[in-house]
Amino acid sequence: MNFKAAVVQVTSTARVSNNLTKCRQFVEEACKAGAKVVGLPENFSFMGSEAEKQNLLGQIERETFLFLKETASELGIYLLGGGFPTKAPSGKVYNTAVIIGPNGEEVFRYHKAHLFDAVVGDGFSYKESNHTESGKKIPEVVQTEFGKLSSAICYDLRFPELFRALSKQGVDLCFLPAAFTVPTGEAHWHVLLRARAIENLMYVLAPGQTGTHDPHGKRKTFGHSLIISPWGEILAELNHEEGFAIATIEMEKLSEIRNTLPSLEHRRF
């Protein structure tokens, strides 16, 4: 079976309604181009300061869920919301990804496990763990008519054992929504995504944030949203512009690669 999948790339800000309006536009355009599975990036509904996030948390969570459910059901697609804040029992937030099915029901939920505490040379000291609670569970893999789907989030990309765990569950398409920094994106984004696809013989769909996100011009992200084949080919890519990238997913080709190069069956450790 062949079908089309798309990844959406945006420059989100602290204005929730504006972000969601823009996301809806690009998702609709991707669907008109034939996409049946669509991914939105990390922080797609809100990207602002921690103080703003706390003040708007209830609104962000409520409006984001409503948007995802309405958009998926009205367009008849599987839609990934690639990372947005939800309340955690500790008083912090989870960085949460969900997949909503074409009937408007949630089929997947994951709390980001690996939190980005790093200094990467772009003028920021990132300390995600100050405000975000780490998820404690490996992402699930959900069976759909378009294969087995799952997702990690952004910094998770650097931890191959997570993706190996997904491959053991038979994942076919794995999302990696992100808001990658410019220095780390330039150095590692393409090579790590291609490696995860090749190592685990799966399609990788990586919707990303792009551009400048605050009025002071300080917070910038790398862009370059990608769709990658299980052979490591870049099937579609955006540069720095907002929009969507779309590619045909060939499930027969996936099976053929796994049969002719059965490296997943050759694991020894």
State residue 218's pLDDT score. 77
DSSP character string of 80-114: EEEEEEEE-TTSSEEEEEEEE-TTS-EEEEEE--S
Strands 173-175 and 147-151: parallel
- DSSP lists the bridge partners of residue 118 as 126
- Residue range 217-225: average pLDDT? 90
Q: What is the tens place of the pLDDT at every residue in 80-102?
A: 999 999 999 999 999 999 999 99
Contacts of 11 (CB under 8 A, 6+ apart): 209, 210, 211, 212, 213, 221, 242
Global pTM value: 0.96
Q: What is the tens place of the pLDDT at every residue in 106-145?
A: 999 999 999 999 988 877 778 999 999 999 999 999 999 9
Tell me the three state secondary structure of residue 238. coil
**Cα 151 to Cα 45: distance, rounded to the nearest angstrom:** 18
Instruction: Average the pLDDT over each of 133-142, 211-220, 231-240 and give the range with the smallest value.
Output: 211-220
Cβ atoms of residues 83 and 154 within 8 Å: yes
Q: How confident is the model at residue 217 (pLDDT cuts 50, 70, 90)?
A: low
Q: What is the tens place of the pLDDT at every residue in 56-84?
A: 999 999 999 999 999 999 999 999 999 99
DSSP character string of 204-222: EEE-BBEEE-STTS--EEE
DSSP character string of 15-72: -HHHHHHHHHHHHHHHHHTTEEEEE--TTSS----HHHHHHHHHHHHHHHHHHHHHHH
Q: What is the tens place of the pLDDT at every residue in 152-205?
A: 999 999 999 999 999 999 999 999 999 999 999 999 999 999 999 999 999 999
**pLDDT for residue 1 is more than 70:** yes
**Cα 155 to Cα 221: distance, rounded to the nearest angstrom:** 13
Q: What is the tens place of the pLDDT at every residue in 22-66?
A: 999 999 999 999 999 999 999 999 999 899 999 999 999 999 999
Contacts of 66 (CB under 8 A, 6+ apart): none
Active site residues: 42, 112, 154
**Cα 11 to Cα 233: distance, rounded to the nearest angstrom:** 26
State residue 216's pLDDT score. 67
